[in-house]
Amino acid sequence: MQPTENLSGTNIALYTVKKKFTDRWKEQVMNAKLKTLVPEEAAVDSRSFDRIVSDKNADISSALNGEKVVNDSSMHEAPTKKRTLAKTIGMAIAAPLLALAFVIALPLIGLYYMAKFGLEAFAKKLPVENRKLKNAATLLKNIGLFLVAPFIALGYVIALPFAGLVMFTKLANEARANRG
């Protein structure tokens, strides 16, 4: 495993470093803070404990026993966000509208790409008429955008009131939280 840009605060024992270090890496390794876990049940003789404590950069933490640390559920679970009722209702309202947008848009996108790839293949076979094909491709692109523009506008007309409602709700919640 290659060393990361900043080794401060990491446990150097986790890194297996290959071959040579540059002076910069050596300095970072020497100044990195070592973390040592000392179980309270384990017998620690005075020499080893003095060696741990004498290192001014050592961060010593203890656990009652290893089993308690392994069984700690907070170490094994990722933090989860709870889905609210408002978010569920919003997704239920938005899902049919998204499906409608895909049903309308995908055939038009397919036609656009078929025409585009056909013109590109034709341009490769007849490079003499390449200038005319570029003009035709630009014309087809403009016509396609002209045909799709009402659907894009419809998407904005449908989506923006919901976006505004969400923004107003957030502002109201922030104002309510700041008020007390």
**What does each C-alpha distance from 54 to 11, 40, 47, 51, 57 come to in angstroms?**
18, 19, 10, 5, 9
- Which of 58 and 126 is assigned the larger pLDDT? 126
Whole-number Å distance between alpha carbons of 49 and 60: 10
pLDDT-based confidence at residue 167 (cuts at 50, 70, 90): very high
Stated pTM of the model: 0.30
Hey, which of 4-13, 101-110, 168-177 has the most confident mean pLDDT?
A: 168-177
Q: Is the pLDDT of residue 93 over 70?
A: yes
Per-residue confidence at 50, pLDDT binned at 50, 70, 90? very low
pLDDT for position 80 = 67
96-144, pLDDT tens digit by residue?
888 888 888 888 888 888 888 887 887 788 766 667 777 877 888 888 8
Closest CA to 32 of 65, 58, 63: 58
Give me the chain's average pLDDT, please.
69
| 3 state SS for the chain | CCCCCCCCCCCHHHCCCCCCCCHHHHHHHHHCCCEEEEECCCCCCHHHHHHHHHCCCCEEEEECCHHHHHCCHHHHCCCCCCCCHHHHHHHHHHHHHHHHHHHHHHHHHHHHHHHHHHHHHHHHHCHHHHHHHHHHHHHHHHHHHHHHHHHHHHHHHHHHHHHHHHHHHHHHHHHHHHHC
Task: Report pLDDT for 69.
Answer: 56
